A and B are shown apart, each in its own frame.
Chain A
Amino acid sequence: EDQVTQSPEALRLQEGESSSLNCSYTVSGLRGLFWYRQDPGKGPEFLFTLYSAGEEKEKERLKATLTKKESFLHITAPKPEDSATYLCAVHGPDASNFGNEKLTFGTGTRLTIIP
């Protein structure tokens, strides 16, 4: 069964203080790893898709990287508006040969940026 573990559970940073969030995964045959941002009481907002080890994607102050066992979401010089919960999810083997099937999520990292 696919498993996703995120750490830390919560992270408080000063504005401008860079850091990284971790997502460790266990899946036989990764077809995609996804990062989402979720604000309180709202639906997750798609950020990145990573497909293979060594791949990197960037968007503004965020950069996602992928290895064979984990992914990192690096946040550089964060601002208060970056405060949110960041969710990692994986797409496992195509069991039914259908295609875009379920995502397995971690429990998220709650990030707070202090002005």
Chain B
Amino acid sequence: DAGVTQSPTHLIKTRGQQVTLRCSPKSGHDTVSWYQQALGQGPQFIFQYYEEEERQRGNFPDRFSGHQFPNYSSELNVNALLLGDSALYLCASTKAGGAPEQYFGPGTRLTVT
């Protein structure tokens, strides 16, 4: 049973640059959520995708955008990177109408210098 996968594992970017993170959901899941986790904090919800549409969004600026593909995989894009964007970015998947628990991937560690 393939779990949630994310790429890359680590990434170092410079302020002002743009970054794209990728996620493949757990087998059988069709809904993908993205979270940002700063050091020592709990994950913060960014947005959720289902049927290739953004269904719900947290308190994040428009610099954060996403996309979901027909195979349910997803991308998170962040433009005009700030030092404060340095964090662990987590992808979680679930199945719409199924059990509510979300399953997380290993995360992408983004460092902005």
Q: How far is the CB of A53 from chain B (nearest CB, A)?
A: 17
Tell which of B13-21, B50-58, B71-79 binds the partner.
B50-58
CB within 8 Å for A102 and B42 given contacts A43-B104, A49-B99, A91-B100: no
Q: Which of A87, A102, A104 has the most CB of B within 10 A?
A: A102
Q: Are A104 and B101 in contact (CB under 8 A)?
A: no
For residue B42, which residue of chain A has the nearest CB? Answer: A105
Could you tell me if A43 and B107 are in contact, using CB atoms closer than 8 angstroms? Answer: yes
**CB-defined contacts of B106 to chain A, threshold 8 Å:** 42-43
Please indicate the chain A residues that have their CB under 8 angstroms from the CB of B83 in the complex.
none
Q: What 1/0 flags go to A82-103 for Cβ under 8 Å of B?
A: 0000010101000110111111
> How far apart are B101's CB and chain A's nearest CB, in angstroms?
5
Asked if B42 and A107 sit within 8 Å, CB to CB, the answer is yes
Give the Cβ gap from A75 to chain B, nearest Cβ, in Å.
19
Q: Separation in Å of the A12 CB from the closest CB of chain B?
A: 17
Q: A31-B100, A49-B101 are in contact. Are A107 and B90 (CB under 8 A)?
A: no
Which chain B residue shows the least CB distance to A88? B42
Q: Which of A42, A98, A104 contacts B107 (CB 8 A)?
A: A42
> In the complex, A45→B3 CA distance in Å?
11
B40 on the interface (CB 8 Å rule)?
Answer: yes
Q: Is A34 an interface residue (CB 8 A)?
A: yes
Most chain B CB atoms below 10 A, which of A34, A41, A45: A41
A residues lining the B interface (CB < 8 Å): 4, 31-32, 34, 36, 41-46, 49, 87, 89, 91, 95-96, 98-108
New A-B contacts (9) at CB < 8 Å, excluding given A34-B101, A49-B99? A41-B107, A43-B6, A43-B104, A43-B105, A49-B101, A102-B45, A103-B45, A105-B43, A107-B42
